[in-house]
Amino acid sequence: EPEVTQTPSHQVTQMGQEVILRCVPISNHLYFYWYRQILGQKVEFLVSFYNNEISEKSEIFDDQFSVERPDGSNFTLKIRSTKLEDSAMYFCASSVREEGSGELFFGEGSRLTVL
C-alpha cells in the first residue's frame, strides 16, 4: 500500500538552529501539506503546496518557515531559526486532488525537539 514517508522520525536541535524535515509523498499525488501537533494539542494546518507554489498558509507559517519540492519526489519543510515553541510533531500529507474523493494521507510524523 502506498504511503507517505517522513525523515527523520525524531530530531533534537538547539534553539536558533536550522532544521529541515523531509517527506516523500505518494507518487501520483499532486497536493502536499504540512501540519503540526504540539504535544497533547490539536493538529494544526501549516501550509499547502500545489504546482510548485504555496496555495495556502496559516498564521503559524511565518518567515521562519519555508517549503520546497526540490525534485520530483521530496517535499521539505525548513525552519530557519528554531524556537522552543517549534517543538512539536510535524506531519506531512498528500492527496491526489484537493476535493472530491481525494483522501488525505498522512505520514507518521517527525518529532522535533528544540532545546
Partner 1 sequence: GENVEQHPSTLSVQEGDSAVIKCTYSDSASNYFPWYKQELGKGPQLIIDIRSNVGEKKDQRIAVTLNKTAKHFSLHITETQPEDSAVYFCAASIRGNEKLTFGTGTRLTIIP
Binding site for partner 1 (CB under 8 A): 4, 31, 33, 35, 41-45, 48, 55-56, 58, 91, 93, 95, 97-100, 102-109
Q: For partner 1, give the closer residue by CB, 70 or 100.
A: 100
Q: How far is the CB of 55 from partner 1 (least distance, A)?
A: 7
Q: How far is the CB of 43 from partner 1 (least distance, A)?
A: 4
Q: Tell me the CB-side half-sphere exposure of residue 61, using CA atoms within 13 A.
A: 20
Q: How far is CA 37 from CA 27, 53, 109, in A?
A: 25, 23, 9
